[in-house]
Amino acid sequence: MKRRIILITGGQRSGKSQYAEQLALSLSDHPVYLATAHIWDEEFRQRVIIHKQRRGEAWSNIEEEKFLSRHNIYNKVVVIDCITLWCTNFFFEHSAKEWEQPSVEETLIRLKEEFDKFTSQDATFIFVTNEIGSGGVSDNAIQRRFTDLQGWMNQYVAQKSDEVVFMVSGIPVKIKG
């Protein structure tokens, strides 16, 4: 298997994760699901449980909030869900005092380095992400900085991807590849 990168993007509840999972199952009988989420509260924990139940026994599950490259996924099909939460984990790793001024530039450099290191393996990578910048400009400075970070990281991943799919109301629209 040679390296292949696919990016699935779209708005919240657009069908990104389910499409990515169906695609992975069409490529492998035993795909890997790499979850980047940090469990913040009980409601989110319940969402994770529902996702795991929906995927079923065919999947190998890995939970990794930041350092994706720790995991050897050579010759596998892996869904990474999602870039948005992964960026959040790097963006908010600072102490509470530093949260007022997280460095977008430094965070973006670290994310790109980790992305490149992880995707240097021969595998099929299916990244899921959100188009959070599609909604208006926030009146919150931290949210604006995070939206910038997310948008720039999405652009970086899309540039490196062999295929990009934009999900609209559950309908996949191929925009690259």
**Which residue numbers are catalytic?**
51
Burial state string for 30-65 with b = 16 or more CB within 10 A and e = fewer than 16: ebbbbbbbeeeeeeeeeeeeebeeebeeebeebebb
Residues 84 and 130 sit within 8 Å (Cβ to Cβ): yes
User: CA–CA distance from 39 to each of 17, 34, 43, 49, 176 (Å)?
Assistant: 17, 14, 9, 11, 33
Q: Let me know how long the chain is.
A: 177
Residues 156 and 7 sit within 8 Å (Cβ to Cβ): no
